[in-house]
């Protein structure tokens, strides 16, 4: 195994848990702590990426462009990254983010929709940015299919493509097989982004590294959506024990998690009942509240509704489908009765 590059996404994925209310002061403190600890890339944006601040996704307390600018001013060594989801963020926001100091853009699509990212990769290259592709909800498709999608991103100009376990649904063999498929197909780097819904964020990250992952992600204290992400300080400790520490200060990251991030966290993300259900079902966390309300109307357990949605491979944007699936399940129960 070789030492991977670690990107910390506390200030992006952690924005979900913070209801997108990070302040300039908090960004400055977190970036300075991560930078001093040797973290080479720090991601800063709304949880749903550039232009995510909206009634649909939740309004930011402080403009993400201001947070990006603060992050760039606070880092002495680390690169500042931003997430962009085509359809939410546009080329206009990408241009402004670059002007404010972003050096790396991570362009994220559903794992079947890499083709919608071509213009965004093209502009990012024109702006001189490092480019990373994100294949979200990657548990939903087999390794060979994902490799084809990743190859599209490579052809558009990606410098790296990530397998993204958005629902925290993967097991170590799933992570290993997907990363390996991309390593065999691509001539660029491969990354892995874990969530902890099944308690496997660190295990899956290690499996990805064993399969050759060049880049991995973490969040201080695991602060992220759902059950959170692989904790950056844990990644550092484990890599150090394995003898492949890429230059991270383990103690400094432990202190950053304990004394900088923990005091501002509204709660500690854990694999609780809801998070486990999302990982077990393999669906987006946005389905959870809808499933609860609709299941109550039909006398269903929301977990069985979510599992059925996962079986039918529902994706974000199909929340209206929950009602149809609930009707099907309720009718099936009536027939059995």
193 annotated as belonging to a binding site for a ligand? yes
CB 85 within 8 A of CB 56: no
Domains of the chain: 5-264 (3.20.20.70), 286-336 (1.10.8.60)
Nearest to 170 by CA among 135, 146, 148, 140: 140
| Mean pLDDT computed over 94-121 | 97
Question: Out of 16, 46, 120, 139, which one is annotated catalytic?
Answer: 16
Q: Strand ranges (DSSP E) for the chain? A: 5-11, 41-44, 79-84, 104-110, 130-136, 160-164, 189-193, 215-218
The upper half-sphere exposure of residue 10, i.e. CA atoms within 13 Å in the direction of its Cβ, equals 34
CB 227 within 8 A of CB 168: yes
60 annotated as belonging to a binding site for a ligand? no
Give the burial string for 123-139 (b: 16+ CB within 10 Å, else e): bbbebebbbbbbbbbbb
Contacts of residue 267, Cβ cutoff 8 Å, sequence gap at least 6: 17
Model pLDDT for residues 222-238, shown as the tens digit of each residue? 999 889 999 999 999 99
195 annotated as belonging to a binding site for a ligand? yes
Residue 290 vs residue 100, higher pLDDT: 100
pLDDT band at 217 (very low <50, low <70, confident <90, very high): very high
Model pLDDT for residues 173-216, shown as the tens digit of each residue? 999 999 999 999 999 999 999 999 999 999 999 999 999 999 99
Annotated catalytic residue 46: no
139 annotated as belonging to a binding site for a ligand? no
120 annotated as belonging to a binding site for a ligand? no
pLDDT at res. 123 = 97
pLDDT at res. 286 = 78
pLDDT exceeds 80 at position 337: no
């Amino acid at each position: 195994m070789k030492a991977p590059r670690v990107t910390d996404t506390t200030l992006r994925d952690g924005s979900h848990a913070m209801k997108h209310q990070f302040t300039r002061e908090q960004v400055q403190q977190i970036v300075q702590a991560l930078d001093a600890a040797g973290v080479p890339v720090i991601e800063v944006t709304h949880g749903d990426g550039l232009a995510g601040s909206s009634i649909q996704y939740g309004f930011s307390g402080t403009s993400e462009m201001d947070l990006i600018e603060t992050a760039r001013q606070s880092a002495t060594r680390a690169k500042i990254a931003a997430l962009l989801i085509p359809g939410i963020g546009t080329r206009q926001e990408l241009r402004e983010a670059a002007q404010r100091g972003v050096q790396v853009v991570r362009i994220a699509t559903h794992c079947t929709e890499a083709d919608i990212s071509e213009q965004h990769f093209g502009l990012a290259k024109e702006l001189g940015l490092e480019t990373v592709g994100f294949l979200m909800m990657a548990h939903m498709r087999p390794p060979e299919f994902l490799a084809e999608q990743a190859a599209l991103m490579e052809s558009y100009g990606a410098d790296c493509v990530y397998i993204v376990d958005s629902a925290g649904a993967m097991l170590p063999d799933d992570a290993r097989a997907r990363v390996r498929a991309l390593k065999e197909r691509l001539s660029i780097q491969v990354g892995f982004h874990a969530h902890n819904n099944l308690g496997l964020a660190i295990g899956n990250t290690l499996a990805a590294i064993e399969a050759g992952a060049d880049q991995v992600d973490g969040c201080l204290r695991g602060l992220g959506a759902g059950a959170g992400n692989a904790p950056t300080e844990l990644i550092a400790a484990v890599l150090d024990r394995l003898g492949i520490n890429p230059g991270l200060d383990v103690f400094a990251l432990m202190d950053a998690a304990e004394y900088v991030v923990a005091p501002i966290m509204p709660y500690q993300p854990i694999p609780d009942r809801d998070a486990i259900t999302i990982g077990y079902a393999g669906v987006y966390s946005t389905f959870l509240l809808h499933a609860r309300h609709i299941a109550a109307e039909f006398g269903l357990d929301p977990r069985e509704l979510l599992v059925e949605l996962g079986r039918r491979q529902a994706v974000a944007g199909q929340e209206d489908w929950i009602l149809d699936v609930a009707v099907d399940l309720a009718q099936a129960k009536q027939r059995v009765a």
